[in-house]
Amino acid sequence: MSRAWIVVRSTVLWAVSILHFCLVVPLVLLLAAILGWRRVEPLLLFGCRSIVRLAGARLVAHVPPGFDPGVTGFFVSNHVNIFDPFVLYSAIPKGFRGLELESHFKIPVYGWLMKHFGNVPVPDARTPSGLKKTYRLAGEAIARGTSLMVFPEGSRTLDGRVGEFEDGVFRMAIQLQVPITPCSIVGSFRWQNKLSKLLRPATVHVHVHEAVDAAGLTRKDLDALRERIRAIVAAPVHAALDGSPPRPPS
């Protein structure tokens, strides 16, 4: 496939997927205001899957047989590109909300959806008071039975590999004594990444792993929990990049 064709294809796919998003979001917000979010979730799921398809990717979800959609906690994933929230929402058989930078709430259309959707704001400048507010709002969401998605790398990858994880979500999981479900997005870096605006043909695999329970853990277990989750998330991602079969982390 020539670069010229990829550029033309990307331009068309961006235009179609953005137009679709801008048309669906106001409809979702209107129906949610009338019917409530619970009844609108199927439409939101359809919209997310459509965005992924219209942007040129094929999605394959790998969910363990023991996955329990009734369990509330945190989902943790690697961060590849701006489509990650739509990919994960399409692949995980449980509705969730996310921790989102406050500045993202100011983005036209997308920010409107995130605000009314119920995402938890995270301050761009990490002050003690701002983080305390985030922890409180996250705890309130969990208490209501709402699971939260977090990208603990803090930014999108520049090479496709999984970077170091920040402590925040693991501190919250230990504080709230709730499970963390690791998720791995594989193949998405070829599709679209931070270094390029091109949308290349790709099959994106989402691996939803077994949950890791934080019940009984304390602050002294923070580092071990963080590195355990990172190893689980990274295993299939790095195996695919290195061209080897994924192996369970030790």
Instruction: Give the pLDDT confidence score for residue 244 in this predicted structure.
Output: 64
pLDDT of residue 248: 46
Write out pLDDT tens, residues 10-21. Answer: 999 999 999 999
Q: Cβ of 218: how many Cβ atoms within 10 Å?
A: 9
According to the model, what pLDDT value does residue 245 have? 56
Q: Is the pLDDT of residue 41 over 60?
A: yes
**Residue 190, phi then psi, degrees to nearest 5:** -70, -35
| pLDDT tens readout for residues 94-121 | 999 999 888 888 888 888 888 888 899 8
Reported pTM: 0.92
Please name the residues in contact with 165: beta carbons below 8 A apart, sequence gap of 6 or more.
76, 152, 153, 226, 227, 229, 230
Asked if the model's pLDDT at residue 82 lies above 60, the reply is: yes
Fold classified for 57-242 = Rossmann fold (3.40.50)
The ranges assigned to domains in the chain are 57-242
The pLDDT of residue 113 is 82
| pLDDT (mean) for 55-81 | 96
